[in-house]
Structure 1
Amino acid sequence: MENKTLDIRGMTCAACAQRIEKTVKKLPGISQASVNLASEKLFVEYDSSLNLSDIKNAVSKIGYEAAEKTEYSDVTIPIGGMTCAACARRVEKAVGKLEGVESSSVNFATEKATIAYDPRKVRLSAIKAAIEKAGYQALEVNKADAADEDRLRKQQEIKTLWTKFITSAVFSLPLLYIAMAPMISFIRLPFPSAIEPMNYPLAYALTELILTAPVIGVGYKFYAIGFKALFQRSPNMDSLIAIGTTAAVLYSIYNTFQIAAGHFMAVDALYFESAGVIITLILLGKSLEAVSKGRTSEAIKKLMGLAPKTAVILENGQEKEIPIDEVEIGDIILVKPGDKIPVDGTVTGGHTSIDESMLTGESMPVDKKEGDPVYAASLNTTGVIQFKAEKIGSDTALAQIIKLVEDAQGSKAPIAQMADIVSGYFVPVVCVIALLAGIGWYFGTAGDLKFALTIFISVLVIACPCALGLATPTAIMVGTGKGAENGILIKGGEALETAHKINTIVFDKTGTITEGKPKVTDVLVAGSVSKDRLLQLTASAERGSEHPLGQAIVLGAKESGLTLLEAEQFDSLTGRGIKARLEGEDILAGNRKLMDEQNISLAGMEEISDRLAEEGKTPMYVAINGELAGIVAVADVVKESSRAAIERLHKMGIEVAMITGDNKKTAAAIAKQVGIDRVLAEVLPQDKSNEVKKLQSENRKVAMVGDGINDAPALAQADIGIAIGSGTDVAMESADIVLMRSDLMDVPAAIDLSKHTIRNIKQNLFWAFGYNVIGIPIAAGVLHLLFNGPLLNPMFAAAAMSLSSVSVLTNALRLKRFRPDTGKR
């Protein structure tokens, strides 16, 4: 089956939507079709016997236009060489300027660019060239071993940073000692007599220069990247470090020449130790930052590590172990107890229990027999099974989950926009503040260059765009990863942010609040027809229906040992029932609305129908040849978790509504069982999205929870669409959040996770903004000016800058302690 969403143009009212839906459903090969008037979209499911052009032509013939959305290619490119949020912003701008690029989002935390582009207008090579031109590296994409390479590259980066830090520390610690020891008057520290600053000032200065040189060499990238960005009029954090430390070193070298010329008092104006210690502290901060960033993506690493590397296939009855990459669709795979399932498929032999917790978060193993699906990376616990490989490589459920989580971690939440805007202007503004502060203090102190230089360097070094750039993406990375661990797949930062604002949740009834596996409970006759005959005719008529109630009646007839008849004619009447012809008799089965449309009297059966509805059963009227023949009642069992989930949502202050096509009394009975506040009953599938829209018009933030294709328009219309993992592909594609289990306790868990994540982001942003708002004025000497307070030493400024990024990352990692209240775990 193929699933497509088409844009429809020319609709003016609900009648237009119904007309299109009816026309499309008549086409051979159409499984499901649903038109959403609000979004002007057609959701359609069809088999390979039908071409998409046939659907477009059918819509065109009745006066409307159906068009596919512009197909953009999505690519995620790892970026090398970024050092701060300003770098990410620069790459975004460079790529975004290209014609054919629909969107460009660079995540500094993951060091990846997510780009949507029209391949007919721009090539991937041109996008990479734009990244390279901006001064960064566009690393390999879409390789089978890209994940492993990315992990190895980051491990190597961490190792390199630690090596650089240790090397710089070896030289900067004695440099700091030599610079500071003579200034400590209250204690006599041991000091080499050959370089006493008062007796041998030139030897003292040259020793400091010799110790500083290796530190500058180790930190050469700050200068290579920083000055390049500065010359390209796009300064970044490296530019601030490069300018500040270069000013300190050049001023110190100038004073070394002054000492050599006999001006020995210049020994008090050496800043070598500031440059050396600043670079050392920033390398320490970068090392800690890289380690912390690695920990934020542990969820992805865990998922990637789940898949086995080999599979045992059966060839001519013989077992053969092959690499996982060589498995082909159709291979018969053998899995023994304790082994992991290598790819997705269907069991062809054997019986076992499989632990699918890696996919669903459900700890209890699931029994598997012939015909049941199995999924890659789940664990076979007991028996030996054989299964046929059906999805391999990037098509497996695990690969899809990894892709979804990676996309979510690389996305941006709306709350990040302010930080992005500030980061874009941050470095140039800091450079101006540092320059103005330095010049102001130079003239304010009657030409005290040392004092002015201290201010200039401190302002440059303390400023930190990194904390701003890391505040949002790190929390999103941890939050979405934590959700995936618990079977809650959140498709992006926007969904994660919006979820915490939800104040109304609408649940579909069948398959969401209820099990979706209804059973026949009552067969009541009116007239001469027998119960068995009534059930046989109704089941035979419903045989062509895909509605859960119809399928329940078919199953009920089979369980009663009745033979089903072949229908000569069948029509599905959306939201009302079905119409069929069997053995020359016209059969109608459906709700009261259908009977009223056909002018069929319900005399004597309405009270019975109402009573059944009050019991939570769904009564279906059956008419034969225009006369009422009886009622077949079906009941759908409420899920165990439904009531607990709704109680939890009420405690969170969220109003809960239920939407269903069932009659009001049946819906009210179900709602009473689970404690639902508001019931939207007798709603046609195409009108579900309109009901959601009505709630939104009341200034409510609405989430829709559903599992079927007829829920897709409503899922798309809602502020947040939540799909049950057992539902259809269309529902899951239309949703913002996918719950891998059918446990409704995951709905409040998802909202709770959103609230924790947004709270964490706000804390990060508060710290990042607060740090810079307070730190930069102190570095500029405001306290000294107003209260004759102390000046900020550039070395302390460097330490504060490094720790600001680490603190933001550490706070984001606190989300790893999140434990959803699911009522079971």
Structure 2
Amino acid sequence: MNKIFSKATKKDGADRGVFLNAEPWVLDAASATRAQPLVRIVPGRQDLSIWSKTLFADSPDSLIREFLARVFSVEEVNEVEIQRRDAFGRLRYKRSADKAGIWRKLGRALHGADTAHSSVGHTIAAASSVPLGIDALYLPEHSIGPIRIYRVGSSLSSWRIRRRQGNGAICLAHPVLFNRKDIAYRLEEELAAILGVEAYRTNILTASVSIRFDPHTIDLDLLVRQLEKSWPRLLNGLEGPPSSKRLVASGGLLALSYTGQYLVPAVKPIAVLGVALYGAPNVINATKQIAHFRIGLPALYSAGLVFMLIGGMPFASSVMAVLMQVWKHLGYGTAKRAQRRLFAIHRRRAAKARLLHGDGLEISVDVDSLAAGDRILVREGEVIPVDGIVTAGFAAVDEEFLSGAVGAIDKIPGDPVYAASIIRGGSLIVRVEKIGENTAAGSIGARLPHTQIDFLPSSADAQRIANRNATPALAAAAINLAVTGLMRPSQALIRPDYLTAPQMTAQLGALHNLADGLSRGIYFRDPAALDRLAATDTYVFDDDCDLERRQIEVAAVIAVAGLSEDVILGYTAAAFPVTQNERTIALFAEAGRRDAPIPAVSERTRHAGVVRYLDGHAHLIEIAAPAYIEARDLPVPREVKDRLAAFAEALDDHDKYGREGDEGTRRDFAHQEPLRPAFVLRDGVILGVVILRRQGKLEARDVITALKAHNKRTRFIHISSRPQEEAQERAERVGISTVFGNLDHAGKIRTLERLGHRIVWVGDGAAPGSLSLIKISAVSISVGGLATIASDAADITLLQPGLAGLVPLRSIGRAHRSRIEADYRMVYAANLIGAAGGFAAGFGSLESGLVSHAATGIIFIRHWKRLHDLVSRLEKRRTTLLSSIHMESDQPIAQISGDIKGEERLIDYRDLNAIVEPDSSGEGI
């Protein structure tokens, strides 16, 4: 920079510097033509124009950023325009009577200290008034138009504030947005992923976006910095929305065809020509297919075009073309809007965090600037922005949005926490482990579909079946024409649409089921596995599956002298919603077995380490964790202490009372479900303790029994590296009779290969060597959970510990297949009615096509309603948790959908080939 703005005095005209003794050297228009300085400056009324080839045309990106950092350090400067092609820059500043004073400030800023050996970051840090966001600015190297940078609060941005619409509402503009639907779509996806953004609307005609945001969660400065960082993804990110050109063209042809066929006959030849040109791609594709001895949808559509040309009636073909385009865009729009709302919580990233320094100083920083090892503070009601380890504090953390686990979990030092979790009570100091897409939530959100779900076997199957139906339809039309000589029945036979509704079912149905599964703690890394589930009949459990994991039971109830254990148990059970989680189920089961009275409760709230409510006698009842008792220094009755000592092995090692030491509980703790004792207090006095342990029935046995009830032909196999006798004993306890023990990794691969192609492998998808087993399986399911989700390679991951998720997973797969089959039945019924109407009721092309598309409309409405209902249910639950973080709700986020009755019917997943050559433009002309 100082090579341009030199401190040295000028020696001759060629070496003249721009600034001398920190005062600006200004050239007027007359002298500018005579001199050839390195930099030329011309002042305006509210701007300063600069010409410099070295600075603007041939300069590296770092020099431009340093220039911006220097000029924006002058607080009066609010806009800079750079035109690289013309080696020109313009600085605009606020109205001021002291223009010379502004120039002197600019001179000092641009002259600066010697920075030949300093970094841009050091230069920026040295000037306290320099705005933030210099490094993230969007500065295209080969821009044809001008680059404009604006001051937005304390930040710099290429987005210009068009107007402020009140606190928490802003309208931003950028010229790149003009007439770019793809960038507008990507911008909306970016805004949907920023925590604190509540609503947005883009306008490509005005190149602007209106945003409403929560200023308590994200301020304007931080918002524009987030948008500035997103430019690489805005320009080269997700595939944009489908072009609307064919929709507009088909609409125009519809109007033209109606006019020519019914109003102005002279226009009809033009309409016929337009329809013929519109359908020309199908003729080309049909020719290519026939050349390879294949007949498909293009041939069917081409036959319809021939009938149209013979009859000279273009209106029916135009109606069908419009309908097919309408369904395509309606399906896309429905999926786009639904996925943003369904997956918002997994994609939304917190933009700021409170960074703690060693001296206790708390600084608000961008989350992206955090590094592993940093310590941040997260308070009550806030979303945890990173994956990390608790180093201090005590809080009730709700992970329901992330993993589907209902009910807050008390976190203490040493416990892991995950991004997207909410602190419902207390506060934590967290040591940062992962940020951004490296977090569990980021890994999940990055792979969730945005609109079209690629490589979905049911979508490819719809294409294949539709192409297969073309041959009999064409044959029937040809036979009718040859026998009867009547063209209308033949037109009715080839007009039905066999493709649109099945593809819509595959896409919208899959989107619904992916979101439904995620709300239950089932993450589909590969959405195609949803289709392949219906083709499996063998479960293979690897060593990593905890076949010995037991259900939670009440191990002991301790009461002070003179008080019944049943009262203590009833108080504890009443603190939690009826079907909240495993602990609650265990408490109610034990209360039912003992016939213990459960009191009516009111004003139930959840805080760090404690649930509070009022019983029927207005006593304050508290169900508290050991850490809460310790933090409040509450006296524990002697008899309770003595009884606790006898059960020390049942308590968590992080508590002063110890932790149970068996292998099952150590594994439970690794999965973040510590079974800490629950102290019962009434009006602040400890009355007793309830202790829970995993000592009930084997969880895997109930899971296998439930899966067998769905399909009696399902096989269950255990492969293990343990000795055969030990593996056999473990497997038989859960109902598995086929066991292969003493297997090394190569032996497991050979065993899976011999078992065939219908197997579901269940293991740890992040374990070394698991990838080869995953590739062999039709479907792979990981029990690795959230901790290893970023490195997990399995098709499906159970986000909650244990194998219980296998039962709802199977139900989701069966429901998906059943929905597809039901929609196929409706499509075929409607198409048969249309075809039969050609003979029985005189249907022609228009009537037959309308009957077919009526079925498509019914199917679309059904899927729209299912998605709408799911979105409403999930958002209602999220709103409840976020608006009343202390309230305990009886309604969990994941409601088990209605199960599908009857036996399963297996399909061959090898027929579900997801890679199908696109041989049709999807137009019905």
TM-score with structure 1 setting the length: 0.48
Flag the structure with higher helix content.
1
Q: Give the TM-score, by structure 2 length.
A: 0.44
